[in-house]
Amino acid sequence: MKTQVGIIGGGPSGLLLSQLLHLEGIDTVVLEKHSREYVLGRIRAGVLEHGFAKLMREAQCGERMDREGEIHDGFYIASGGERLRVDLAAHTGGNSVIVYGQTEVTRDLYKARDRAGGTVIHNAEDVRPHDIDTTSPWLTYRDGDEIRRIDCDFIVGADGFHGVSRKAIPNDVLREFERVYPFGWLGVLSRTPPVSPELVYARHARGFALCSLRSQVLSRYYIQVPLTDTVEDWSDEAFWAELKRRLPEDVAGALVTGPSIEKSIAPLRSFVAEPMRYGNLFLAGDAAHIVPPTGARGLNSAASDIHYLYHAFVDHYRDGDDTGLDTYSQKALARVWKAQRFSWWMTTLLHSFPERSTYDAKLQQTELDYLFSSDSALASLAENYVGLPY
Ligand code: RFL
Ligand code: PHB
């Protein structure tokens, strides 16, 4: 098989790039390790910035998002019984975010690839990139007993944090920057009305909690848990009781509980790999960088990579202009690091850190007091939360 851009990974990054390139007449093949049902069963992001939404519309995949997604122009931060509304619109000249689940984004992208007759190969085992430092890179994957080969002009590694593409970059070229947090988020999805029309990020001495939603009948809640905890340690009853303890009284009192329909633990980690290009291999999304979910930046940062990469490929194929490809890594990383900084800041502000000094605890409280009393501090938070310009 032959294609112009071979894409490893059929998550939101890979599918969005594939669909955008298709609309410009550029051929792609997507190799996905798992089944479609498996990919759609992962419950992840819920908050999209408008830059992401614009790309979805450009990809002709924005219709359901615009119909069913909710525009949120504010959210709450709760601490010590107080609740502060962060007015995103007021602090950003009318900007907002869209609440629409990653599962739905991915479903819409799969449908678009199907409609266009795009090639997305599921259950592709042992995917490997070859000759990435030449102008004729190629991919192999295993289909049962057969090894299949795909010749490409370029390869894009959009295969998430645990993928193979980043590992194909030689050790003496690749630099990795990492911070691992000593806790995770236990998330529960339930078919219950959300406790608040807007998200509530709550700091509490027992640990962080977040009230989010997917729709008016589907809620998503998270609590900070030690890394040693497992899903089996948490019955639904124990989860709801702990969530209530960490929320302000009025919020806890309004909480409607019900059976969980999904429950999972995600460890919190910050990670960046540099460079994001090696030869004719380009990394995008979680394959190159991840953030703790506190600032809702992960999927949104993936989308900004796709924005740069898509335009770079179009310039290459349409005009023979390689400037975009040559500057991709540098441009993408500049925005990636700003998302890293913001996610680290939100995480540090709102979580309980075991074995933290009393000095650090005082600083965290002072940072919150400052945020609650300063319009400039709120404006900085709002500007980052709605997404910095591309
Ligand atoms: P993905 O989604 O991990 O997709 C990668 C795909 O590649 C496949 N794959 C392979 N395919 C072939 N060969 C291999 N060897 C392969 N190895 C892996 C995988 O099966 C998969 O299908 O990466 P992508 O596309 O870059 O998308 C990134 C986002 O998934 C991620 O950044 C967000 O989910 C992060 N995130 C959030 N981001 C936001 O912008 N807003 C949010 O509100 C938000 N909330 C969250 C989040 C992530 C969370 N978790 C679980 C970490 C909330 C949570 C709890
Ligand atoms: C979610 O709804 O899953 C969600 C929302 C906001 C975040 C993280 C996750 O910061």
**Tens-place pLDDT, residues 356-374:** 999 999 999 999 999 999 9
The predicted structure's pLDDT at residue 232: 98
CA distance 271 to 88: 27
Read off the amino acid at residue 86.
V
18 and 154 housed in the same domain: yes
54 and 151 housed in the same domain: yes
| Tens digit of each residue's pLDDT (9 = 90 or more) over 110-123 | 999 999 999 999 99
CA distance 225 to 246: 12
Q: What is the CATH number of the domain that holds 372?
A: 3.30.9.10
**Token duo for residue 380:** 């900085």
High-pLDDT (> 70) share of the chain, %: 100
The predicted structure's pLDDT at residue 314: 98
User: What does the longest C-alpha to C-alpha distance in the chain come to?
Assistant: 64
Which residues, other chains included, contact 254 with Cβ-Cβ below 8 Å and sequence gap of 6+?
195, 196
104 and 11 housed in the same domain: yes
First to last CA, the chain: 35
Indicate whether 162 pLDDT > 90: yes
114 and 60 housed in the same domain: yes
Confidence of residue 80 (pLDDT cuts 50, 70, 90): confident
Distance of CA 338 to the CA centre of its chain: 14
Ligand 2 centroid to 307 CA: how many Å?
Answer: 22
The predicted structure's pLDDT at residue 302: 98
Inside any domain, residue 86: no
Distance of CA 143 to the CA centre of its chain: 29
3-state secondary structure of 3: coil
49 and 115 housed in the same domain: yes
316 and 170 housed in the same domain: yes
Indicate whether 187 pLDDT > 90: yes
Inside any domain, residue 79: no
**Token duo for residue 232:** 């089996």
High-pLDDT (> 90) share of the chain, %: 98
186 and 246 housed in the same domain: yes
Of 177, 209, 210, 211, the residue nearest 194 (C-alpha): 211
Ligand 2 centroid to 46 CA: how many Å?
Answer: 5
**Token duo for residue 311:** 């335009």
46 and 34 housed in the same domain: yes
Residue 87 and residue 382 in contact, taking contact as beta carbons nearer than 8 Å = yes
| Tens digit of each residue's pLDDT (9 = 90 or more) over 250-275 | 999 999 999 999 999 999 999 999 99
| Tens digit of each residue's pLDDT (9 = 90 or more) over 5-42 | 999 999 999 999 999 999 999 999 999 999 999 999 99
Residue 365 and residue 78 in contact, taking contact as beta carbons nearer than 8 Å = no
- Closest C-alpha residue for ligand 2 atom 1: 46
- Helix, strand, coil percent content, the chain, rounded in steps of 5: 40, 30, 30
Range of the domain at 172: 5-73+95-177+269-348
Mean of the pLDDT values across residues 320-340? Answer: 98
155 and 199 housed in the same domain: no
CA distance 186 to 277: 34
Q: Which atom of ligand 1 is nearest to the CA of 285?
A: 26
Closest-lying ligand to the alpha carbon of 48? 1
- Closest C-alpha residue for ligand 2 atom 2: 46
- Average pLDDT score, the chain: 97
241 and 202 housed in the same domain: yes
- The structural domain count of the chain equals 2
Residue 98 and residue 65 in contact, taking contact as beta carbons nearer than 8 Å = yes
Residues touching ligand 1 (Cβ under 6 Å) are 8-14, 31-34, 39, 44-47, 102, 124, 127, 158-160, 162-164, 185, 187, 266, 285-286, 293, 296-300, 302
CA distance 49 to 342: 15
CA distance 366 to 369: 5
190 and 240 housed in the same domain: yes
**Residue 388: how many other CB atoms lie within 10 Å:** 16
The predicted structure's pLDDT at residue 81: 86
Mean of the pLDDT values across residues 274-279? Answer: 98
CA distance 62 to 53: 7
Of 25, 23, 46, 315, the residue nearest 12 (C-alpha): 46
For a mutational test of ligand 2's pocket, the pick from 222, 223, 294, i.e. the residue with the most ligand atoms closer than 8 A to its C-beta, is: 222
Mean of the pLDDT values across residues 203-225? Answer: 97
**Residue 134: how many other CB atoms lie within 10 Å:** 10
24 and 56 housed in the same domain: yes
